[in-house]
Amino acid sequence: MARIHLGEFEELVLLIVAAQTGEAYGISVLNDLATEADRKVNISAVHAALRRLEQKGFVESAWSKATQARGGRRKRLFSITQKGEAALVQIREIRNRIWGRLPDLGQNLGFS
């Protein structure tokens, strides 16, 4: 199994793209980052992460139809690829396995 090179921020962005099922673009990801993860980043950081994910083949993109908004400019809509899904699943499995080895972590760390 090939190693997956995915930074923490990239992973988060990938997850959001997957959750938005084909409707993800720069600003929607930016908003989710702010509301779900309480992370305020610059739009350029989101663009950069999306670009890297696309280069790695985890997401693919397509142009939306042009609308009145955005001065007639199209959106680049991102959706997750199979490779991307596989990567997310794999990461989750690795994490779950390791979590399983920590007995009563919830209590010790004060989670309810």
Partner 1 sequence: MNSPLPPEPPRWANRFLEWFCHPDLLEEIQGDIYELFDLRCQAIGATQARRRFAWDVLRSFRFSTIKNFDWLITSDMLRINTRIALRQMGKQKVFSFIKIGGFALGIAACLLISLYIKDELSFDQHYVDGDQLYRVVAHDSYQGEAHANVFFAAPMARTLLADYPEVVSSARISPGGLFGGGDNPIRRADRDEVTFDDGFMLADNALLELLEVEMLNGQQSDALTEPGSMVISRAKAERYFPGEDPIGQRMLINNNPDQTYTVTGVMENLPKHSHLHQVDFLLSLSEVEFWPGEQGYWRANNYHTYVKLRPDVDQAALETKLLSIIDNYYIPSMEAEGITDAREQSKNLRFSLQPVEDIYLKSGDIIDLLPHGDIRFVRLLGLVVMMILLLAAINFVNLSTAKSANRAREVGLRKVVGSRRRELIGQFLVESTVISTLAVVMGVALARLVLPFFNGLADKSLAFPWLSWWFLPILLGLALVLGVAAGAYPAAFLSTFKPIDVLRGSISRGAKSSWFRNGLVVFQFTTSIILLIGTIVIYQQMSYMQNKQLGFQKDQVLLLQATNTLEGQVNTFKEELSRLPGIDRVSISDYLPVEGTARNSNRFISEGDERLIAQYWLVDYDYVDVLGMDFVAGRNFSPDRLTDSSSLVINEAFAKELGYADPVGKRIERNGERTIIGVVKDFHWRSLRDKIFPVALSLGSSPGMMSVKFEAGKLDALLPQLQALWDRFSPNQALNYTFLDQQYAQMYTDVQRTRNVFLCFALLAVFIACLGLFALSTFLAEQRYKEISTRKVLGASNWHIIRQLSQNFLLLVGLSLLLAVPVGWYVMDTWLTDFAYRIDLNWSMFALAGGVALLVAILTISYQTVKAARIDPVLYLQR
- Enumerate the β-bridge partners of residue 60: 79
Distance CA(82)–CA(103), nearest Å, equals 34
Binding map of partner 1 across residues 30-69, x = CB under 8 A, - = no contact:
x-----------xxxx-xx--x-----------------x
73 contributes a contact to partner 1 by CB under 8 A: yes
Q: For the chain, how many helices (H) and strands (E)? A: 5, 2
74 contributes a contact to partner 1 by CB under 8 A: yes
Question: Is residue 29 a contact partner of residue 102, using CB atoms and an 8 Å limit?
Answer: no
Q: What residues numbered 89-108 form the site for partner 1, per CB under 8 A?
A: none
- Sites of contact with partner 1 (CB under 8 A): 25-27, 30, 42-45, 47-48, 51, 69-71, 73-76
